[in-house]
A = this chain, B = another copy of it.
Amino acid sequence: MIELGANRYGKRAIRLVKVVREPGGHRVRDLTVDVALEGDFTAAHAAGDNALVVATDTMKNTVYALAAEHLTEAVEAFGTILATHFLAIPQVARATVALREHRWTPIPSAGGPAPDAFVRAGGATRTASVAATRDSTVVEAGLEDLVVMKTAKSAFAGFPRDRLTTLAEAHDRIMATRVMATWRHVGPAVDWDASHARISTTLLEVFAAHESESVQHSIWLMANAMLERHAEIDEVRMALPNLHHWPVDLAPFGLENRGEIFVATSEPHGLIEATVRRRGS
């Protein structure tokens, strides 16, 4: 005689970003949520009968719908709301919701924190590369894994359309990227640390302040400002993945998505690479 022992099922890695749009500025909540249910699921296993099997796709929808309505407080509170929701399903005996929150902090700007540009806590690694021959030594400084997001002032429209184009024009989208940038020094800098700090600050300031028409446009504006304001460098290279945040369609649930609820994705992603330099360099 064979029997079913402990069992559970659910949805893992539900990636959710909520942009809370308040008068004083935006706030970003970025969660990864796992849901697991235990209960009366013997028939699903032993008889292939799905009558009690809530689809894991529905669990995902639930996370997005309840986030639209209720995600304003701490993850412990949102987790409790979710667990309570799933426990209201009769065949569920235990609902376990695990949440991880990825922190974003506003990018400081001249007039106080920018209300609509953010940097993900942690991550940015300072980089340097020195390539020496007997004729010359080229020093490139830079950074990688600087994850930033604009929740306003980002558009992508006016692009060509053909039979294979389905993307809608976007006049107010989220732009998120993981910046890889290097800048080439004209010569040995007086103070590498100070130079790196100044140039990184310019990059972040322009990222927060500018009106973006595309990732290409953003690269150009950031690199231009870096070259114009910092005479010690003569070339900037950037590679920016477009970490797409797609708006979730809440209409089937009777809810409207006012640019608040997004699914964060990593595959596939756009990748935009460019070099900007002083003419003649």
Could you list which residues of chain A lie within 8 angstroms of chain B, going by C-beta atoms? Answer: 1-15, 34, 36, 41, 44-58, 60-62, 65, 73-77, 79-80, 82-84, 86-87, 89, 93-103, 121-134, 137, 139, 141, 144, 156-160, 162-167, 185, 188-189, 192-193, 196, 212-217, 219-220, 223-224, 227-228, 235, 241-242, 252-254, 265-280
Contacts and interface: CB of A to CB of B under 8 A. Distances in A.
8 nearest A-B pairs in the assembled complex, by CB-CB distance: A122-B122, A48-B213, A5-B275, A74-B192, A7-B274, A79-B130, A56-B270, A83-B132
Contacts of A241: 12
Contacts of A51: 158-160
Contacts of A158: 49-51
A98 B12 contact: no
Copies of this protein, total: 4
Given A36-B271, A127-B98, A167 B4 contact: no
A134 B86 CA distance: 11
A241 B52 CA distance: 19
Contacts of A165: 55, 57-58, 61
B55 A167 contact: yes
Contacts of A265: 267
A214 B44 contact: yes
A165 B94 CA distance: 20
A62 B164 contact: yes
B44 A216 contact: yes
Contacts of A11: 268-271
A213 to B, nearest CB: 3
A54 B159 contact: yes
